[in-house]
Amino acid sequence: MIEITNVSEYEALAKERLPKMVYDYYASGAEDQWTLKENTLAFSRILFRPRILIDVSKIDITTSVMGFKISMPIMIAPTAMQKMAHPEGELATARAASAAGTIMTLSSWATSSVEEVDSTGPGIRFFQLYVYKDRSIVTQLVKRAEKAGFKAIALTVDTPRLGRREADIKNRFTLPSSLTLKNFEGLDIGKLDKTNDSGLAFYVAGQVDRSLSWKDVQWLQTITELPILVKGVITAEDTRLAIQAGAAGIIVSNHGARQLDYVPATISCLEEVVKAAQGKIPVFLDGGVRRGTDVFKALALGASGVFIGRPVLFSLAVDGEAGVRKVLQMLHDEFELTMALSGCRSVSEITRNHIIADWDVPRPSARL
């Protein structure tokens, strides 16, 4: 067995094990995949300003998210159809998150239902929501998530249509016949049809409501008492609108670079959103997090925590629940080490002064 020493090594192993259609679905981004590369590369343009001669013999990396104390500011993002990666899919991921003492977000398009995930045992879980044209389905789904003990709704707002994912078009992506979108089982919308294009794109065009607007964030608050996190914000303007609409938090996200290509990396958008939020609601980030150093950089720029997606899928494909546990542990350990070497003894001690970003450096003006 190869000794895996960092999160990124799981991807190459997963590529060897997964069917091409499945690997491509998990790994690919939209169109030219510029944003996909940028999501990870942008972290490399942020450097550290470590402080020295600080007693770091004791380090506390615990934090609080939406009132829940968790072991670290590293949580699991919603990723669809996890049983394509491993037979236990989302159930294995839920157990791994619970064992690590952190939060898992379940996708609407999971291959395990909210009830099945709840049955794995205790844990802090959020539910990611797409708003369907049939609002009765949305209401029913939110009520089920509430009943199953989920603690927040992460409303995805960047998908009125599915981004152009060319790998899925070439592969004519569809969900394997043995699997269904479990949350919609019995509603005749739990299967993806085979098409000459991407089966998921066809499904989204038929089911997801393109008219979704800020008033629907307020509507959601009339059908649930759960806090609403708005997932997919990357601008100050939309941050202010999210606060006005009653959002309880924001997830800075570009959908893993799977929607509109040539949007900035999420880490590049984070500070703009944090400044616009003015501390009124917490701001989180997903996209491109592959190291504990990335987690530190996000917190230094004002994030209250980060969510990881692809590392979970790839580790799940390689080693099931044990793989996901290892990814979480590696990021935990790397983050703790980064804090120690930066002179931070608690999450609250991480500040903007601990980093320097490329945009902080004045550029010489061009001569005419």
Q: What percent of the chain has pLDDT over 70?
A: 93
Region 8-35 average pLDDT: 96
pLDDT at 184: 86
Cβ atoms < 10 Å from Cβ of 367: 4
Both tokens of 289, joined, read: 């997090």
Q: Indicate the burial class of 122 (C-beta count within 10 angstroms; 0-12, 13-18, 19 or more).
A: exposed
pLDDT tens digits along 322-331: 999 999 999 9
Please compute, for residue 86, the number of CA atoms within 13 A of its CA located in the half-sphere on the CB side.
Answer: 20
Confidence of residue 262 (pLDDT cuts 50, 70, 90): very high
Per-residue pLDDT at 199: 53
Residue with tokens 């993806």: 192
- Does residue 161 have a pLDDT over 90? no
| Mean pLDDT, all residues of the chain | 93
Q: Pick the more confident residue, 355 or 199.
A: 355
Mean pLDDT score, 276-290? 98
Task: Name the nearest CA neighbour of 81 among 158, 161, 21.
Answer: 21
Instruction: Give the whole-angstrom CA distance, residue 79 versus residue 98.
Output: 17
Give the residue from 313, 258, 328 showing the smallest Cα distance to 17: 313
Q: Does the pLDDT value for residue 190 go beyond 80?
A: no
Per-residue pLDDT averaged across 35-45, rounded?
Answer: 97
pLDDT band for 202, please (50, 70, 90 cuts).
Answer: low
Tens of pLDDT, residues 207-247: 777 889 999 999 999 999 999 999 999 999 999 999 999 99
CB atoms within 10 A of CB 39: 25
pLDDT tens digits, 119-148: 999 999 999 999 888 889 899 999 999 999
pTM strictly above 0.85? yes
Give the Cβ contact number of residue 165 at 10 Å: 24
Residue 177 in this model has a pLDDT that exceeds 90: no
More confident residue, 361 or 105: 105
* Residue of 86, 255, 332, 354 marked catalytic: 255
pLDDT at residue 203, rounded to an integer: 64
Structural contact between residues 286 and 266, judged by C-beta atoms closer than 8 angstroms? yes
Name the CA radius of gyration of the chain, rounded: 20
Residue ranges for the known binding site for FMN are 78-80, 107, 128, 130, 156, 231, 253, 258, 286-290, 309-310
pLDDT at 334 over 90: yes
Q: Using an 8 Å Cβ cutoff, are 159 and 128 in contact?
A: no
Q: Is 255 among the catalytic positions?
A: yes
Q: Which domains does the chain have, with CATH numbers?
A: 7-85+151-171+214-357 (3.20.20.70)
Contact criterion met (CB below 8 Å) for 240 and 164: no
Q: Does the pLDDT value for residue 101 go beyond 70? A: yes
Cα–Cα dist 325/339, whole Å? 21
Average pLDDT, integer, range 270-299: 98
Percent of the chain whose pLDDT exceeds 90: 81
Other C-beta atoms within 10 Å of 279: how many? 9
> What are the Cα distances from residue 327, in Å, to 64, 75, 150, 313, 323?
21, 11, 23, 10, 6
In whole angstroms, give the CA distance from residue 111 to residue 212.
Answer: 25
Binding residues for glyoxylate: 25, 165, 255
Average pLDDT rounded to a whole number, residues 106-111: 96
pLDDT for 194 beyond 80: no
Instruction: Return binding residues.
Output: 25, 78-80, 107, 128, 130, 156, 165, 231, 253, 255, 258, 286-290, 309-310
CA gap 230, 266 in Å, rounded: 14
Strands 249-252 and 283-286, how do they pair? parallel
